[in-house]
Amino acid sequence: MTGSAGQVGGELLLELEKKFSSNDIVVSDINGLDKISDDYEKIILDVRNYDLLKQIIKEKDIKYIFHLASILSAKGEENPKLAFDVNMNGTHNVLAASAELGVDKVFIPSTIGVFGPEAQKDNTPILNSSRPRTMYGISKFTAEYLMQYYFERSHLDVRGIRYPGLLSYKTPPTAGTTDYAVDMIIHAARGMDYTCYLKEDAVLPMMYMPDAMENTMRLFDAPLKNLRYRGEYNISAFSFSPGELAEAIREFVPAFKVKYKPDSRQKIAESWPRSLDCSDGVKDWGFKARFTIREMIRDMISNLQK
Ligand code: AKB
C-alpha cells in the first residue's frame, strides 16, 4: 500500500485484514508511518522514486498494489507542481513498474474531481464532458487514461473507483474540498459551533468511509471479465449541502450552529457534480451502500463522543 498514512490508508487496512494476514501486508508512505501499527512491515517510500519502488516490488515479491499516495484538491491548488509530480509521475511509476514486474492486480482511487464545470451536474454518468479545472482533477483524469493504457498495452489488471467526499471519524482529512463535512460533525460532537468554507447550498456527492472501503474490496475481488471500465467507476451513497448536513446533525445536537464564510474551495466545489450515476458499478461488480446520512451522523457522533 502506498500513501498508507493518509485519510484512506488506515481504514483500508482494516478491510485488508479480513482477507490477508498482517504479515503479508507492506505499508509505505513518505512520512507518518509511526501512526500505523507495528504489525505491518513499514517502508518509507516516495512514489516519485521509481528505482526504490521497483526494488520494493521485487524484494518483497508484491502481488497486489493499493496505490493511495495522492495530493488532494485543496492542497493541490496550493502546490500544483507537487500535485502534478506526485499524482502523475507517482501513478505512472506504479503502473509502469507493475506492468514490467508482473504485479497481479493494482487498485488506484480516482475522484469526483475528474469532472469539470461543463459536466452534467445531476446524476452524472461515467462518460461525460469532463475538462477538470484543478490540478488534482487533471492528474486523476489522466491517471484513468493511463490505467486503460497499461491494461491494453501490458494486460495489467488495474481497477479504480471515483471516490466522492469520504467521511470518517477516525482520520481527520486535511487536504480536500469535501473535508468540511467531517470537520462539521467533529465540531458538533464536541459541542462547538462551526464556520464552513463552502456556501450553505453547495451540494456534493458523499459516502461514509466503511461503505467506501467495502466497495473498494468488492471491486477489487470482482471477476475481471465483468469490468467494462478501469479506473472510472462512479460511487456515492448520497448528496448533501453544508446546510442540509447541519440540519441533519441538529437531530442529535439541537443547539448546533453554523456560519458560512466561503473561500477558494467554493470554486472547486462548484466545478464538481452534485450527484452521480452509479449504475455501472451496480451492474458490473455489485456496488451498494449501507449507511444513510442519518445512520452515518449517528455512528460518527457516538464514536467521536466516546
Ligand atoms: C477532495 O475533496 O479533494 C477529495 C475528493 C472528493 O476526491 N475528498
pLDDT in tens, 51-86: 999 999 999 999 999 999 999 999 999 999 999 999
- Model pTM score: 0.96
Asked if residue 64 has its Cβ within 6 Å of ligand 1, the reply is no
For residues 229 and 275, membership in a common domain is answered with: no
- Look at residue 303 in the predicted model and tell me its pLDDT: 97
Cβ atoms of residues 162 and 112 within 8 Å = yes
Ligand 1 atom closest to the CA of 73, numbered from 1: 3
Query: Among residues 106, 102, 103, which one has the least CA distance to residue 144?
Result: 106
Number of domains making up the chain: 2
Q: Name residue, grid cell 465540531.
A: 187
For residues 78 and 136, membership in a common domain is answered with: yes
Length of the chain counted residue by residue: 306
Q: Last residue of a domain, which of 191, 216, 234?
A: 234
For residues 30 and 128, membership in a common domain is answered with: yes
Asked if residue 236 has its Cβ within 6 Å of ligand 1, the reply is no
For residues 142 and 38, membership in a common domain is answered with: yes
- Using the mean position of ligand 1's atoms as its centre, give its distance from the Cα of residue 55 in Å: 31
Active site residue 233: no
For residues 201 and 213, membership in a common domain is answered with: no
For residues 220 and 279, membership in a common domain is answered with: no
Mean pLDDT of the chain: 97
Whether residue 4 lies inside any domain: the answer is: no
For residues 21 and 48, membership in a common domain is answered with: yes
- Using the mean position of ligand 1's atoms as its centre, give its distance from the Cα of residue 42 in Å: 26
Alpha-carbon span 252 to 293, nearest angstrom: 12
- Look at residue 129 in the predicted model and tell me its pLDDT: 79
- The 10s digit of each residue's pLDDT in 257-292 is 999 999 999 999 999 999 999 999 999 999 999 999
In terms of residue numbers, what domain contains 176? 168-206+237-305
pLDDT over threshold 90, residue 130: no
